[in-house]
Amino acid sequence: MAENTSLSGFFYSLFRKKSIEAYQQEANRSGLRRALGRWALVSLGIGAIIGGGIFTLTGVAAKNYAGPALAISFVIAGFACLLAALAYAEFASIVPVEGSAYAYSYVTVGELIAWFIGWNLILEYMMGATTVAVAWSGYFEKLLHLFHLELPLWLTNDYFTAQAKAQAMGLEPPAFAFNLPGFLVTWLVTGILLRGIKETASTNNLIVLIKVGAVLFVILVGLFFVKPENWTPFIPPAEVDAQGNVHYGWPGVFTAATIVFFAYIGFDAVSTQAGEALQPNRDVPFAIVASLLITTALYIGVSVVLTGMVPYSQLDERAPVASAFAGAGVGWATYLITFAAVAGLISVMLVMLLGQTRIFLAMAKDGLLPEALFGYVHPVYKTPFRSTLLVGTIMSFTAALVPIVNVSELTSLGTLLAFTLVSLSVFILRVRQPKLPRPYKAPLWPLVSLGGVLVNIFLMSQARKENLRAFAIWAVIGLLVYFLYSRRRSKLHTANSA
């Protein structure tokens, strides 16, 4: 029967839904290689979450907002993420496919919202990974500096950043600049991903061992240099600056929670690996929650030790962990911490780029993206080969040539929107299909679902106005792509028009 062409039919088409049964059938013929067990998935989650943020965000949040109560801020941020994680876990058990939040939205709130989520996940995964590539370049430069090796300014920055740095240093601005480390590390990660999921998982496991070992080193060794008096007062009295911003007290603790929240971004990437998990209904929900709980415990441990080693007012905002150990007479730890950051960021890029190509694969299967490009799975490597190659190319040149310092905040907005809609979708599905088999059910429904919606909307509201405007522009571009290309090429559209 031809699809209704009236205005009501048009609006109906925007919210047409893909059936859960269709997704469950696709899960059995994805073309991807199922090679990830429970703990490999947990490792991917940890690899995505723990990055350079643990070695930098702690200084800003503790020194300026929370003081020793930074540990409470991590608990609050971890709880906010846990609400979303439980929603992701329930959906992953019902719809065990690589589409993550995109697929979950498609079965509950319809195609337009699903497209919008998929479009915004580009901010979390591809642009997030590009930002990490630039950050990796900075850490790599620091590591070389520790060994008295220096690369020229024009070879470690994009043109605009190099111009600004040269001017600040009183040097002659370079005529050309190219961030070579950021470019090369992107192709290193892309090459690993092209080879296959086993190679990717093995590389990630090694890197996760290195950086978790470094975090445990910070906690266990740092305990010997803790001075309990540095924890007093645990929540410093609230102060208001000239701009009206509140520092310390409970308002400061909550502000710090919004800052360190972004250290958790990445746990949802586990859900994009459902197509390559051995037992996705059981293992993906477990890995989502387990990786979040493990990293939360590590973050709390680091924050407690760090604020115990040094008075919070004396923390170095740029390198709080390294400076704390240097101040305690353990300067050689700087080498270990910097090396762990360099290695750790590679695994973040691996999982982010892995997640992006799987999201594109799911969207291509539904006709919303060109299937010949984004839906092609290599017959030998069993990876979305062309998509990975394209995304790697875009990332490498963006990291090398474009200043993307502020993209990280847009990444957070895209992530928070995905968290919000997944939490809402779980609530809708429970109401519409209460008897649907759910291998995993989020506890305390509907408090968990609705709580996740409210918490994530609140965190989005804390974003700066200029970032909200940039996010709105990105959203408009996405809607244009949908209406000009994706809507009429959707497989649901062609099926209804037949």
pLDDT greater than 80 at residue 467: no
Q: Do the beta carbons of residue 201 and residue 41 sit within 8 Å?
A: no
> Where are any strands of DSSP class E within 182-272?
239-240, 246-247
pLDDT at 250: 85
Burial class (CB in 10 A: 0-12, 13-18, 19+), 55: buried
* Residues 223-268 pLDDT 10s: 888 888 988 888 888 887 777 777 788 888 888 887 787 778 777 7
* Residues 347-383 pLDDT 10s: 888 888 988 988 898 899 888 899 888 888 888 878 8
pLDDT greater than 70 at residue 495: no
C-alpha closest to that of 287 among 96, 78, 94, 40: 40
The CA angle 249-81-196, to the nearest 5 degrees, is: 140
d(CA 105, CA 118): 9
Mean per-residue pLDDT of the chain? 83
d(CA 288, CA 91): 11
pLDDT at 2: 44
Beta bridge partners of 277: 36
Tell me the average pLDDT across 15-23: 80
C-alpha closest to that of 207 among 450, 451, 444, 43: 43
Token pair for residue 362? Answer: 């799911």
**Amino acid occupying residue 287:** A
- Confidence category of residue 4, pLDDT binned at 50, 70, 90: very low
CA trace torsion 367, 370, 373, 377 (10° rounding): 10
C-alpha closest to that of 408 among 132, 44, 141, 156: 132
* Residues 406-431 pLDDT 10s: 566 677 778 888 888 888 888 888 88
Burial class (CB in 10 A: 0-12, 13-18, 19+), 168: exposed
Q: Do the beta carbons of residue 121 and residue 100 sit within 8 Å?
A: yes
Token pair for residue 25? Answer: 């059938």
pLDDT at 405: 60
- Confidence category of residue 28, pLDDT binned at 50, 70, 90: low
Question: Which domains are seen in the chain, by residue range?
Answer: 16-497 (1.20.1740.10)
Tell me the average pLDDT across 42-70: 81
pLDDT at 393: 94
pLDDT at 297: 92
pLDDT greater than 60 at residue 3: no
C-alpha closest to that of 266 among 52, 82, 49: 49
* Residues 324-336 pLDDT 10s: 887 777 778 888 8
Q: What is the pTM of this model?
A: 0.83
pLDDT at 406: 56
pLDDT greater than 50 at residue 492: yes
The DSSP-derived string for 295-354 is HHHHHHHHHHHHHHHS-GGG--SSSHHHHHHHHTT-TTHHHHHHHHHHHHHHHHHHHHHH
* Residues 105-155 pLDDT 10s: 888 888 888 898 889 888 878 888 888 888 888 888 888 988 889 899 899
- Confidence category of residue 186, pLDDT binned at 50, 70, 90: very high
d(CA 27, CA 96): 6
Token pair for residue 220? Answer: 């266990």
